[in-house]
Amino acid sequence: MALGLGLIGTGFMGKAHALAYRAAGAVFGDLPDVSLEVLCDTPAERAQSMARQFGFARSTDRWHDLIGDPAVDIVSITTPNALHREMALAALAAGKHVHCEKPLALTLEQAEEMETAARAAGVRTIVGYNYIHNPAVSHARKLIADGMIGRPVHYRGWVDEDYQADPELPWTWRAKRSEAGLGTLGDLGCHLVSMAHVLMGQVSSLIADIQIIHETRPLPGASGRAPVENEDTASAIVRFESGAQGTLCTSRSAWGRKNKLDWEVHGTKGMISFSQERLNELQFYVNDGPRAEQGFRTILTGPEHAPYGMFCPAPGHQLGFGDLKTIEVAAFLRAIAGGQDVFPDFTDALGIERVIHAIDISAREGRRITL
């Protein structure tokens, strides 16, 4: 029997979810069937149009109706941040599995409420950190676990984009804490923390600083300017539970950067580095052999790095953003079918939320935070 999907939202991430749920079965072959049942957006005309485009059987402009539909087993939430909590809680109360985009919520208290509700509901949840499902990242994790770079001692990560670099870009909901929550931390920095958790384990303490670069922005379609309430940049020095140290830096106002999510893991015998803008490559260095012959080795992902081969039998042909979302969906569907948890579920995502909110608190209060 097919699992019925209800999708809320048809923007960038809504389309990514629709394509991934349509593709997952064709790519992997061993997944439960998925039927695209209901799509929700406003106004109703847009919902109808996008339902036809994405291949959904029905449409609605009322998300409560989607959640209450008996044909819907999975609720996919791709709305603006302020709507995540209410929609997720309603879906969990209705006994639906929930696929929610990041960040989980506007505040840490909301995220804790959502995580508690998910555990009580006994359903499967997942949060949309698709970058961690990259075969290159999985291979890096294996290299680290196998001791190929020795004991990990330092993590250096940064994630920059330039979508808020222009000071004359009009004010939007993303600048308001009551609608967006955190700024670059909630939009970009959380991805960096998800990577750190996968590769290095949990963060135990941190000290941080933030700044608002453009303190006001012009009001769209009106005279005057409105204040920007959340951070454009953030930096933190972190300590992991393992004892390793690290740095996390993020900016939404970095000219020229489009998706510059880069990280390095330094060990006692070598190091691994990665750049999201070259997401099919790892740089791998080991202190071994004659020094005159040592250097970085480029590992280009291919069929040997599962599940790359499910998409393409030839190395070097490249996976992309949408493929990582398809891998994420496949992991979620397997978890639903098998009754087990999947990473990152709401509990894992709450751990990520605790780190990004600790960075915000540390910066505003000027003190080290222990998690």
Domains in the chain, ordered, with CATH? 3-130 (3.40.50.720), 131-317+345-370 (3.30.360.10)
| Chain segment 251-284, per-residue pLDDT in tens | 999 999 999 999 999 999 999 999 999 999 999 9
pLDDT tens column, 46-57: 999 999 999 999
The CA distance from 366 to 202, in Å, is: 22
Q: Give the pLDDT confidence of 315-355 residue by residue, as tens digits.
A: 999 999 999 999 999 999 999 999 989 999 999 999 999 99
Q: What local confidence, expressed as pLDDT, does residue 1 receive?
A: 76
Residue 106 has pLDDT above 90, yes or no: yes
User: What is the pLDDT, as a whole number, of residue 29?
Assistant: 95
| Cβ–Cβ < 8 Å for 266, 176 | no
What number is the average pLDDT over the span 40-45? 98
Residue 147's contacts (CB-CB under 8 Å, 6 or more residues apart) are 269
**Cα–Cα distance measured from residue 163 to residue 82, given in angstroms and rounded to the nearest whole number:** 20
Our measurement of the distance from residue 110's CA atom to the centroid of its chain's CA atoms, rounded to an integer in Å, reads: 18
Q: Where are the alpha helices (DSSP H) in 102-212?
A: 108-121, 135-145, 177-180, 184, 190-200
The whole-number pLDDT of residue 221 equals 84
**107 in the Ramachandran plot: left (φ > 0), alpha (ψ -120 to 50) or beta?**
beta
- Amino acid letter, residue 13: M
* Band of pLDDT at residue 9, cut at 50, 70 and 90: very high
Specify the 3-state DSSP secondary structure of 125. strand
Model confidence pLDDT, tens digit, residues 56-83? 999 999 999 999 999 999 999 999 999 9
CA-nearest of 180, 154, 195 to 355 is 195
Rounded Cα–Cα distance for residues 251 and 100 (Å)? 23
> In this predicted model, what pLDDT tens digit does every residue of 290-305 receive, in sequence order?
999 999 999 999 999 9
For the cut 80, the answer to whether the pLDDT of residue 215 exceeds it is yes
Q: pTM above 0.75? A: yes
Q: Which of 2, 97, 7 has its CA nearest to residue 55?
A: 7
User: For the chain, what is the mean pLDDT?
Assistant: 97
